[in-house]
Amino acid sequence: MNSESIIIFCFQACLCSYLGGAILSLVLDRWQKAANLIGFSCAVLGGLVGCVASILVLNRSIFPSLLVWPFQMPLFTFSIHLDALAGFFVLVISLLGLAISIYSLGYAAQYYGIKNVGALGAFYNLLLLSNTLVFCAGNAVFFLITWEMMSLFAYLLVSFEHEQPKTRQAGILFFIMSHIGTGCLAIGFLLLFKAAGTFNFGSFHRIGPQLSSLELNAAFLLFLAGFGVKAGIIPLHIWLPEAHPVAPTNVSALMSGVLIKSGIYGLARVLFDFLGTPPVWWGVTVLLLGSVSALLGVLYALVEHDLKRLLAFHSIENIGIILMGLGSSLVFLSFDHPVLAALALIAGLYHTINHACFKGLLFLGAGSVLHATRTRNMEDLGGLIKKMPGTAFFFLLGSVAISGLPPLNGFISEWLTYQSLLQGFGSTEKLLRLIFPITGALLALTAALAAACFVKALGITFLALPRSRQAEQAHESSGSMQAGMALLALACVFLGLFPMIFLPMLDSATQQLVGQSISSQLIAADGWLLTALGVEKGSISTLGMVSLFLVLLPLPVALRLVFSRQAKHELGETWDCGLDQLTPQMEYTATAYSKPLRMIFRAIYRPRRQVQADFEVSRYFTKSIRFETHIEPTFEKLLYRPLNRAILRLSRRIRWVQIGSLNAYLFYIFLTLLALLLWEKVY
């Protein structure tokens, strides 16, 4: 059996596993334990064979169509094409789906007798299936069908705990925003169809020159808006921090790690594969949107006390970092620097899989905390490192990775992004070159704020004393939940220590999109170092850092043994300021931690404070003080609420069109057809 046959077999097995898991979960609905075990086990199998198929694809240079269904219609073909770009994103969803499915075997047990576990497993498998088909669709109509299926199943999963009003509101908001994005995509694909005469993706390849300047720029803006909604680009992000916290945690991890990456996939497919050489302003727009999303995402995360909502804002931040790589690549293509374009594209793609791993790990850790304590409020947590040492360790690894600290994977992709931004200053012209050092400085600020944010998240959640009875009674998560986190933790370590193994797998994607394969230029001859491009080359080796640490580690251990042999060691209580004992009220809170940053960035936050004091006898004898602080939802207040009011006013004014007369509706259809015929005759 040759490699192509293995790829086809594994990919078909992947799709069949997801479909079989969905069907069996519904069939075994009455037997919840069986539905949980079989449904999520099928998802584990699908993720495993999906990883095999995608890795084989990324090591190939020829990418034939895998499946073409016999039932076809004019202009519409049910076809699946697994090329290098699709193979990379299938690897992302398969790897993350594998880990989350293992985690879900233990996580879903909490719903026994409370919720429909069979429905959870079915919708989960169908989300994996539809999202995988989105990455592999070879036809625009088929792409939109699978795109809508993905949005529908994601909505059903977000609304799984629909008894809560906030859950219903978040689901509706997600559904509305998804349909707005789909409308933009449909119009964009119609513009491409007008030039190609077909909806097949193969005919869209480098079709940009066949469009007029107006049509080309309109297509760019439509696709940027349509895919930007799903990716959570600011200001199209409002659904993301609402939907992620209320969804089941395994769903939150899947949505943050993969579903929002479907927007990144769409942008990469359209901007690099379909539209051809971009104007400079396209790349600048994407680069600036990425910078703004990264900075504002981490700033809003810093003031959050809801652990899952904090992670949701960090998804916006990391989507911004990915867009910085894609935007830089587009700018380099505009100036005919394909090698630098490949470097920036590799940085964006590498951060895509890195973010899937460490954000999935962090969401699974947050889910374990929620599972054990029944609260997402960090102010009610604390002291969990003693109750949940395994979860605390995995959350620590994810925090180091997302903060861009060596030697884990987030450091590698951010280092590559820095290198591409630094190269932009000397490779572009006029004032445009100033954008690159400015965005590089914003990326550095974003990384520093991310580290500060996860010092808060880790410290307030896991350290000090428990602040509530739920935290005192917390327990470690089950074995399958820890196994899922361990798999993603290993992925973060592997991608951080061995980028020289993974980077060559991206050559096929960069060759397809920008015509360059540069991994050999990034990896030194000895295979240990990553080197920068350009005249003055820098280099980095996370594996070397760890090796040096292990070599030097025996020295302090030996010194401790020699000089502390005669020393006496005593354990004592933590200093309590002269009081009888420490209490949770003495601990640093999340609100106090973020207070200086709220003051520094008050122009962005626009905070509102409310202090209410209760007195016993007079105002000199205070009984209690209640303090509340709120951050103004700027985009909702200034953009979406006025837009909502305008739409409602317009709807009321044109309500007379719906008069309830069938003859009138037939007359509307006649006028529409007449207008379309006249349009076709004129143009």
665 residue type, one letter: Y
User: Closest by alpha carbon to 178, among 197, 202, 150?
Assistant: 150
For the stretch 129-158, pLDDT in tens is: 999 999 999 889 999 999 999 999 999 999
pLDDT score for 94: 96
pLDDT score for 541: 85
Is beta strand 79-81 parallel, antiparallel or unpaired with respect to 530-531? unpaired
pLDDT score for 682: 67
pLDDT score for 534: 62
pLDDT score for 537: 62
pLDDT score for 355: 96
pLDDT score for 679: 79
The band of 69, judged by pLDDT with boundaries at 50, 70 and 90, is low
Residue pair 353/91 in contact by the 8 Å Cβ criterion: yes
To the question of pTM greater than 0.75 for the whole model, the response is: yes
pLDDT score for 619: 73
For the stretch 537-569, pLDDT in tens is: 678 888 888 988 888 888 888 888 888 777 777
pLDDT score for 597: 86
The percent of the chain in helix, strand and coil, each rounded to the nearest 5, is 70, 5, 20
For the stretch 413-448, pLDDT in tens is: 999 999 999 888 777 777 788 899 999 999 999 999
**Distance (Å, rounded) from C-alpha 288 to C-alpha 280?**
12
Question: Does 536 score more than 60 pLDDT?
Answer: no
pLDDT score for 490: 97
Helix (H) or strand (E) holding 614: strand 607-615
The band of 20, judged by pLDDT with boundaries at 50, 70 and 90, is very high
The band of 65, judged by pLDDT with boundaries at 50, 70 and 90, is low
Cα distances from 626 to residues 306, 326, 378, 609, 611, in angstroms, run 19, 47, 18, 11, 6
Instruction: Taking residues 456-479, report their average pLDDT.
Output: 91
Instruction: Share the mean pLDDT of the chain.
Output: 89
Instruction: Taking residues 615-642, report their average pLDDT.
Output: 79
Higher pLDDT residue, 75 or 360? 360
Instruction: Taking residues 144-173, report their average pLDDT.
Output: 93
pLDDT score for 405: 92
Question: Does 625 score more than 80 pLDDT?
Answer: no
pLDDT score for 62: 62
**Count of CB atoms situated within 10 Å of the CB of 297:** 29
Q: Where are the beta strands (DSSP E) in 374-531?
A: 530-531
For the stretch 332-359, pLDDT in tens is: 999 989 999 999 999 999 999 999 999 9
CA-based diameter of the chain, in Å? 101
**Distance (Å, rounded) from C-alpha 316 to C-alpha 637?**
19
Instruction: Taking residues 56-79, report their average pLDDT.
Output: 70
Question: Does 235 score more than 70 pLDDT?
Answer: yes
pLDDT score for 302: 93
Residue pair 146/138 in contact by the 8 Å Cβ criterion: no
